[in-house]
Amino acid sequence: MTTHFTKIVAGLGWLALAVASGAGPVSSARAETAAVTATAEVKGGGSAAAVKLLKEIVARQRTALAEVAKKETADEAEDVRPKLQRVADDYEVLVKAHPDFAAAWAAYGLFLCEPVVEQRRTALALLFKANGLDGELPVVKNQIGVLLAEEGRMIEALNYFLAASDLAPQEALYHFQIGLVLDEARESFLKTNAWTAATIDKTVLEAFRRSVELAPERTDYAYRAAEVYYGLAEPRWEEALKAWSALERRLKGDIEKQAVRLHMARVQWKIGHAAVARELAGSVGVAELKGQKAKLLAEFDAEDAAEAAAKKAGR
């Protein structure tokens, strides 16, 4: 199955563009590299010298990535390429010298997931190696799940997200991943006969509920949790409206609020409150949402026309 899953990068104005969003598993390789490095020291994942070297490599990695972030064009970013290559070379030296050091393989794999590096197939092999050496690194299992999902291997991806969540049940991200992969690949899971529509709905709702509960500051989680009510075996419009209303009260940006208002308009229409729906849609005036607003109003008009035609034919 070909997947349209893409990485979410926090802070890129996701909400203004998300009226018809298709969110996918979250890759947070940079943050997870830090977590793996800390775990290596706490768990004694390698010798003191190996841990020290890993920290030094990660520090150089962060410096190089920070330089890339400051570049305005791809050509300018190329100036940093030699530094990134040296980081990769350093990882090669580290894992050859300490082949049983799981955190080194993990950090190396996560580094290769960075967009500016983008060697995801190689990264997956390295992360599998890390997971084989130490099966209790949830950040590794999460990133394996992300890479598998990107390849369309949804059932395998879910198993890794579930394992990550079992190891770190207080980490909102892992619950969020479970909800995403099940919701986005429902048909694949139904075909296994191990899942029913009802069990998928129950698991998805609980996963998103838990992610929002654990990370109330993450409005992107709340957004996706509200949106999920549409795709249930039996859509829950009233619950969706409550979720969107709660999210709108939390948002501060005008564009974000108006994007949510379009969702509220759609839900009100589904509930049968046509006048309220049109009023809500009409209140959206930002240029960034002009296309989404026009599309939604066109849907309303088409449904009204179809209903009128049906009544006329029934006379």
Evaluate if pTM is beyond 0.85: no
Amino acid present at 139: V
Could you give the 3-state DSSP secondary structure of residue 100? coil
Residue 159's pLDDT is what?
A: 97
Q: What angle do CA 152, 225, 172 make, to 5 degrees?
A: 80
Confidence of residue 5 (pLDDT cuts 50, 70, 90): very low
Lowest mean pLDDT of 37-46, 51-60, 73-82, 158-167, name the range: 37-46
Q: What angle do CA 93, 99, 103 make, to 5 degrees?
A: 90
Distance CA 149, CA 176 (A): 14
Share above pLDDT 90 across residues of the chain, in percent, rounded to a whole number: 71
Alpha carbon dihedral 63, 69, 75, 78, in 10-degree steps, equals 20
Residue 7's pLDDT is what?
A: 29
- Where are the domains positioned within the chain? 15-235, 237-315
> pLDDT by residue (tens digit) across 198-223?
999 999 999 999 999 999 999 999 99
Q: Is the pLDDT of residue 193 over 50?
A: yes
Q: Is the pLDDT of residue 311 over 90?
A: no
> pLDDT by residue (tens digit) across 27-36?
555 556 666 6
> pLDDT by residue (tens digit) across 153-179?
999 999 999 999 999 999 999 999 999
Confidence of residue 26 (pLDDT cuts 50, 70, 90): low
For 15-235, give the CATH class.
mainly alpha
Give φ, ψ of 230 to 5 degrees: -70, -40
Q: Is the pLDDT of residue 245 over 90?
A: yes
Q: Is the pLDDT of residue 234 over 50?
A: yes
By the 10 Å C-beta count (0-12 exposed, 13-18 middle, 19+ buried), 273 is classed as middle
Amino acid present at 132: G
Measured over the CA atoms of residue 115, residue 121, residue 124 and residue 129, the dihedral's sign is negative
Share above pLDDT 70 across residues of the chain, in percent, rounded to a whole number: 83
Q: Is the pLDDT of residue 99 over 70?
A: yes
Measured over the CA atoms of residue 80, residue 82, residue 86 and residue 91, the dihedral's sign is positive
Q: What is the 8-class DSSP label of residue 78?
A: G
